[in-house]
Amino acid sequence: MDISNTRRSILIVSGIIITVVILLLLVTFIMIKSNNLDFRTPVIVRKNPTVTNVMDEVEYSKSNSSKWKNIEIGSVLKEG
């Protein structure tokens, strides 16, 4: 089977690109699994934020030792 130099070059470059992409995906997967890389959305902390939406069951506690309570829409959250 006779492959021209151009086709051979394209196949080699394609193979190298595919290998690099696979290696990058593998490294990313390993880092995520080992907790060295976390994907998080940014959080904006405002003064006296007010609860405007509640999904499922959400609870809060005034301090580490106090009892957990259900949160209600309109509640003002404080530091801690």
Overall average pLDDT of the 63-76 stretch: 78
On whether both 29 and 61 belong to a single domain, the answer is: no
Return d(Cα 4, Cα 19) in angstroms, integer: 23
On whether both 79 and 54 belong to a single domain, the answer is: yes
The HSE-up count of residue 1 (CA atoms within 13 Å, CB side) is 3
pLDDT for res 65: 67
Q: pTM of whole model > 0.85? A: no
Handedness of CA 8, 9, 14, 16 (dihedral sign): positive
- Read off the pLDDT of residues 2-11 as tens digits, 9 standing for 90 and up: 668 888 889 9
Cβ atoms of 50 and 74 closer than 8 Å: yes
On whether both 14 and 30 belong to a single domain, the answer is: yes
Residue 60 is part of which domain span?
41-80
On whether both 46 and 57 belong to a single domain, the answer is: yes
On whether both 32 and 45 belong to a single domain, the answer is: no
Handedness of CA 33, 34, 35, 40 (dihedral sign): negative
- Read off the pLDDT of residues 42-53 as tens digits, 9 standing for 90 and up: 777 777 788 888
